[in-house]
Amino acid sequence: MRELRVDPIQCQGRGLCAAAAPALVSLDEWGYPLLADGTREPITSADERAAKRAVRACPRLALALSPR
């Protein structure tokens, strides 16, 4: 299964990932993305398009979708 990963050093909480894929990414009280496993979240094939949208939305290039 693919994984959505955030690089917590690059991430500055701009929040565009959550705007691009609201069903997939929610933000904490400081505006940083909440992923299931801290910095990672397994992505089902149904969610892949949303995950790619979130990745593309990040101006910091902090999000990545692991290769299949």
Binding site for other proteins (CB under 8 A): 7-9, 11-13, 28-32, 37-39
Is residue 52 within a helix (H) or strand (E), and if so which, with residue range? helix 48-57
Q: Mark residue 31 as left, alpha or beta (left: phi above 0; alpha: psi -120 to 50; beta: remaining).
A: left
Cα–Cα nearest to 9, from 39, 31, 29? 39
CB of 18 to other proteins, least distance (A): 13
CB of 35 to other proteins, least distance (A): 8
CB of 47 to other proteins, least distance (A): 20
Rank residues 7 and 49 by Cβ distance to other proteins and give the closer one: 7
